Structure 1
Amino acid sequence: MKIIAVTGYKGGVGKTITSIHIARYLADKGKVLLIDSDPNRSVEKWAARGEKQPLFKVKNEKSAPAHIAGNDFLVLDTPARPDSNELKEISQEAHLTILPCVPDAISLDPMLQMFHDLFPGAVYRVLITIAPPYPSKSADELRSVLAENQIEVFKGFIRRSASVVKAIDMGVTTAEMKGRDHYPWQDYKTIGKEIMEVINGTAQ
């Protein structure tokens, strides 16, 4: 079973939305359990809004242990703003720790701090989220700063889109949306492919 943790020191970076969409992508690859460890229970509330059950199991951290066996993937939506010790434990156990980051100056300092607080040797990737559309170059600028600090970053990124918020409000993912509202799913599919490369040890 592969463990993917999504965590962050700063709120509002799309941590829970990322967790949900990653679980949805992996659901096409095998059995997935998404553990909602955030006290706000945002994932459980999202699942409850949908007319249909998601293609993956959603449990909180208290009920999850009874449902872990038999899954191919475990996605962990961590508590918001974990302390440094929690981050070390999370990144030590995960096959991949995903660190969402919005391309703005306010988000950069917490991201640089997170990098130093990871478990030594942890496998991680920064995921640039809520990136403004072209002609903004903020995502590329953030990628350059992270690269200068020798921080691993996903090649893909998640563009800002009202469709993502619309899907979450409906209790679905952008994979289930139609027309233009489906477009953001391509960003998550790109990230999903990179995730598979990393956890399978084939990333370049």
Structure 2
Amino acid sequence: MIVTLLSYKGGVGKTLSAIHLAAYLAGQNATALIDGDRNRSATKWAKRGELPYPVVDEKAAAKYARNYEHLVIDTQARPNPEDLGALADVSDLVIVPTPPTAMALDATFLTLDALNSINCQNFKILLTLIPPYPSTDGKDARERLQELKLPVFAGEIRRMAVYQKAELAGALVNKVSDRRANMAWRDYQSIGSEIIDG
């Protein structure tokens, strides 16, 4: 399975999600994360610590593709139309992560317009960085997306400071010492399960 994460906006939890969804898939079968982001955020994360799968440069993707059951592709923000078409063509699933803010949702709609322009139908929106109760931003964003009949993951990724700890340590969130680490990991397990179950 090839899973691509893309967005027309930075800071939406794209690399965070790529790293943790690759970890979930690695628990199912051999997985590699392809770092196609110009900032090489996933590569830097991996170099600070240890991840349970290889993180490879996009230029080496062809070499790794034949050795792994699953590939997760972390893309640059706002890929050009040619790259977008190529990514959509090779991907079994395109994940569009978005926080529940007006600016992020606007960027998500631009991303979806671009996907629709190349007739990409195999996408799903992932709500990320959901603020805690009593905020209703996550619920409100979900309702808006559902009203538009857009495909949205049933699970969502809550905003938690433990992710910054994981990034600094170069580790998965469930490998850092924090009382919310397992809760954060369960969010990604839920999404991973949705991906596998189709």
State whether TM-score is above 0.5: yes
Q: Is the 8 A contact 1:174 1:185 kept in 2?
A: yes
Q: What is the TM-score normalised by the length of structure 2?
A: 0.93
Report the CA distance between 1:170 and its aligned residue: 0.4
Unaligned regions of 5+ residues in structure 1, if any?
A: 199-204
Q: Does 1:58 align with 2:20?
A: no
1:24 corresponds to: 23
Mean CA deviation greater in 137-146 or 115-124: 115-124
Residue 59 of structure 2 aligns to a residue whose secondary structure is coil
Mean CA deviation greater in 173-182 or 183-192: 173-182
Q: Is the 8 A contact 1:92 1:122 kept in 2?
A: no
* Structure 1 CA distance for aligned equivalents of residues 82 and 154 of structure 2: 28
Unaligned regions of 5+ residues in structure 2, if any?
A: none
* Structure 1 CA distance for aligned equivalents of residues 124 and 34 of structure 2: 20
Question: Which residue of 67, 70, 73 corresponds with 1:70?
Answer: 67
Report the CA distance between 1:85 and its aligned residue: 3.9
2:130 corresponds to: 131
Report the CA distance between 1:108 and its aligned residue: 1.4
Report the CA distance between 1:72 and its aligned residue: 0.8
The letter of the residue matching 2:139 is D
Q: How does 1:37-186 map to 2 (within 5 A)?
A: 37-50=36-49, 53-118=50-115, 119-182=118-181, 183-186=183-186
Report the CA distance between 1:87 and its aligned residue: 2.4
The letter of the residue matching 2:18 is S
Paired residues, number: 195
1:39-78, Cα deviation, whole Å (9 max, x unpaired): 111111111100xx32111100122322221211000001
1:9 corresponds to: 8
1:147-203, Cα deviation, whole Å (9 max, x unpaired): 1222100011000000011101100011212441422001011111111112xxxxx
The letter of the residue matching 2:131 is P
Residue 165 of structure 1 aligns to a residue whose secondary structure is helix
Residue 180 of structure 1 aligns to a residue whose secondary structure is coil
The letter of the residue matching 2:92 is H
* Structure 1 CA distance for aligned equivalents of residues 87 and 150 of structure 2: 18
* Structure 1 CA distance for aligned equivalents of residues 64 and 90 of structure 2: 18
Runs of 4 or more, structure 1, over 4 Å off, are: none
Structure 2 vs 1, CA of residues 121 and 46 (structure 1 numbering), >3 Å: closer, same or farther?
closer
Report the CA distance between 1:121 and its aligned residue: 4.5
1:201 corresponds to: none
Report the CA distance between 1:116 and its aligned residue: 2.0
1:194 corresponds to: 194
* Structure 1 CA distance for aligned equivalents of residues 69 and 140 of structure 2: 36
The alignment yields a C-alpha RMSD, in angstroms, of: 1.3
Report the CA distance between 1:90 and its aligned residue: 1.6
Q: Is the 8 A contact 1:115 1:151 kept in 2?
A: no
